[in-house]
Amino acid sequence: MLGLSILSRLAKTRRVSAPWFPNRGLVVGAAIFIFSCLVNAGSLPAQPQKNAASARDHSGLPIVTLPETGNFQFVALGDLAEFLDLRTFYSEKARKVILYVGNSELKVTAMNPFVQIDNRMVQLPVETRYAGGDILVPLQYFADLVRPLYPNRWPEELDFAKPTDTNSLPPATPVAATASEPAPAEPNKTPTTNVSKILVEEKANGTLIRIQTAYPFNRKQVSTRVSRQWLYVDIVGGRIDTGAVRHTRPAGIVQRVVPVQTGAVTQISCQLKEDIEQKRIVVSGQGNEILISLPTLDQLSTEVLRNLERERRKWLIDTIVLDPGHGGHDPGAIGPNGVKEKDVALAIAKRVKRLLEKSLDVRVVMTRDHDSFVPLKDRTQFANSEQGKIFISIHCNANRSRRVTGATTYFLGPAKTEEALEVARRENSVINYEADSSAYAGLGAEGFILRALAQNAFNRESEDLAAIVQEELSGNTKLADRGVKQAGYYVLIGASMPNILVETAFISNQREEAMLNDSNFQQNIAEAIFNSIKKFKEKYEWGI
């Protein structure tokens, strides 16, 4: 019944899937193990146990009761959203959902008890589940989070008693954190698990160990070693309920799985039927899973290896495109003492280029490397022709009020605040310097939305990159953090890669104008952008 309900809702196209640039790379990377192994592995949802009770409550919602959670009643988030007529945004790959309730956003992750409501974090007394392509939430407690935000009259059908035999679990509690990942557990309290399940699958060319987690782990947090027919997988920061996952079914080369929690490290020990060389083990990631590939084929053909290497290189972040804003007869914003945005942007971009070329194995190209004017549409066309993997446009902000300060990082999308709209208008006014502005005639509200949707394949990655840059800018420069925002920048339209625009500081503010004109401060900004690119590259390449 639950599955049919979910399929019915999908047929109504209520959800929007968010394609993930890195996951395609991860699939290719894992394919080095076996061409079909991970394609077959896919991203299979963790289904509820067969003895889970399924029914409908008096509201008509399909309800699932999972025995291992006591008497908690779960409901598919999509069904609840449809019942309350709420808009949702789904990322199937990451198993995350944004639920839009009134003016608030609730971010929910599968196999995770933490729910982010705008900028605050709340912990449910039991973690969410995942089944049939949807996230299951404990209805009674989740309803308590939604009810105060719901703009309409709350349905009385959803007001009923909470379970009584749940080991005296507390109600949903706020957490002192604003990040998208759970805050650390308080001292002397049992930490929330983030490693939920271990699956072992035999494939045509070897064995695949799938470790399901609450959120993606960084490659640096996962290590493997082999000793005397035992494979040890260490997950730094992992937390596992060893009793819940101890009875993992063996398969392939794996005879037995023994999970152990030692301090801040989850260790998964796998007894093997035969020794395997360390160098043949492939560690990769796919959404909220850590994948350990144990190939047993002796050798792949030279042609296959060559094709796999060609595909792997295709997804490496090996070309960075830097776009210094304005230039030539377009000075950009001009500060109270005459400092020009075009000069600052170019100086910072050159510093970023030097840092990248010195420390990373990447090719760096610039849309301009001297004081010249480049039309907006030509900048992304240039980035595409150079097969760029990241596009960063560098600018200085300005405001009518000279008291406004701070740094902001933008990614492409409809402006959600008056400030974002105003900044986009100012940056887009560059087209007035172009000899022919007819190319932008179709970029009214509807035209822009269509163009932005067409580019949506890299929207999530662009938002991730913007968040990393903003964090680095705030930490490296001590500027006021004005956050990550969306806006309709013409210069970002058409970039076939993750792309962002950085408003480094306010040149309209006399103090920040002087800082922007200082070489040391320019270097600080350049280092922040460099560090961000390095982190982004490490994060999205670790599975290739």
For every residue of 37-60, DSSP letters joined together read HHHHHTT---PPPTT-EEEE-TT-
Q: Count CB atoms within 10 A of the CB of residue 171.
A: 12
| The pLDDT value given to residue 87 | 84
Instruction: Specify the CATH number for the domain of residue 203.
Output: 2.60.40.790
In a shared domain, residues 329 and 436:
yes
In a shared domain, residues 328 and 451:
yes
Calpha distance 468→454 (Å, rounded): 24
User: What average pLDDT does the segment 138-149 reach?
Assistant: 87
Instruction: Specify the CATH number for the domain of residue 322.
Output: 3.40.630.40
Domain span at 468? 316-541
Distances in Å between the Cα of 64 and the Cα atoms of 46, 99, 145, 156, 267 are: 14, 20, 20, 20, 32
Q: With beta carbons less than 8 A apart as the criterion, state whether 201 and 207 touch.
A: yes
Maximum average pLDDT range among 175-189, 273-287, 294-308: 273-287
Of 57-61, 85-89, 319-323, 333-337, the range with the lowest mean pLDDT is 57-61
Higher pLDDT, 36 or 216: 216
- Residue 370 within any structural domain of the chain: yes
Calpha distance 409→501 (Å, rounded): 6
Q: Which helix (H) or strand (E) holds 107?
A: strand 104-109
In a shared domain, residues 467 and 340:
yes
Q: What are phi and psi of 424, to 5 degrees?
A: -65, -40
In this prediction, residue 59 has a pLDDT band, given cuts at 50, 70 and 90, of low
Task: Check whether 161 has a pLDDT greater than 90.
Answer: no
In a shared domain, residues 270 and 326:
no
> 3-class DSSP state for residue 342?
helix
In this prediction, residue 526 has a pLDDT band, given cuts at 50, 70 and 90, of very high
In a shared domain, residues 209 and 358:
no
Q: What are phi and psi of 107, to 5 degrees?
A: -105, 125
| The pLDDT value given to residue 543 | 58
Q: What is the DSSP letter of 147?
A: G
Q: What is the pLDDT of residues 214-233, one digit of tens each?
A: 888 887 788 888 888 888 88
Q: With beta carbons less than 8 A apart as the criterion, state whether 244 and 74 touch.
A: no
In a shared domain, residues 433 and 510:
yes
The amino acid at 49: Q
In a shared domain, residues 356 and 393:
yes
- Residue 156 within any structural domain of the chain: no
Q: What is the pLDDT of residues 221-279, one digit of tens each?
A: 888 888 888 888 889 888 888 777 777 888 888 998 888 887 788 888 888 888 888 77
Token pair 């969306």 in the structure block, residue: 486
Q: Is residue 261 exposed (0-12), middle (13-18) or buried (19+ Cβ within 10 Å)?
A: middle
Q: Which pTM does this prediction carry?
A: 0.49
In a shared domain, residues 294 and 355:
no
For every residue of 437-491, DSSP letters joined together read -GGGTT-SHHHHHHHHHHTGGGHHHHHHHHHHHHHHHHHHH---EEEEEEE--GG
Calpha distance 525→14 (Å, rounded): 41
In this prediction, residue 128 has a pLDDT band, given cuts at 50, 70 and 90, of confident
- Residue 36 within any structural domain of the chain: no
In a shared domain, residues 206 and 337:
no
Higher pLDDT, 329 or 459: 329
Of 29-43, 75-89, 308-322, the range with the lowest mean pLDDT is 29-43
- Residue 281 within any structural domain of the chain: yes
In a shared domain, residues 403 and 537:
yes
In a shared domain, residues 360 and 509:
yes
In a shared domain, residues 457 and 508:
yes
Characterize the bridge pairing of strands 230-236 and 222-227. Answer: antiparallel
- Residue 500 within any structural domain of the chain: yes
Token pair 């027919």 in the structure block, residue: 229
Residue ranges of alpha helices (H) inside 92-240 are 139-146
With a CB cutoff of 8 Å and minimum separation 6, the contacts of 342 are: 324, 325, 326, 327, 328, 330, 331, 332, 371
Q: With beta carbons less than 8 A apart as the criterion, state whether 199 and 274 touch.
A: no
Supply the mean pLDDT for the chain. Answer: 75
Task: Check whether 121 has a pLDDT greater than 70.
Answer: yes
Of 144-148, 256-260, 293-297, 481-485, the range with the lowest mean pLDDT is 293-297
3-state helix, strand, coil in the chain (%, to 5): 35, 30, 40
Count up the domains in the chain and report the number: 2
- Residue 184 within any structural domain of the chain: no
With a CB cutoff of 8 Å and minimum separation 6, the contacts of 215 are: 109, 112, 180, 181, 194, 288
Percent of the chain with pLDDT over 70: 69
- Residue 336 within any structural domain of the chain: yes
Q: With beta carbons less than 8 A apart as the criterion, state whether 136 and 75 touch.
A: yes
Calpha distance 451→439 (Å, rounded): 13
Task: Check whether 186 has a pLDDT greater than 50.
Answer: no
- Residue 237 within any structural domain of the chain: yes
| The pLDDT value given to residue 182 | 39
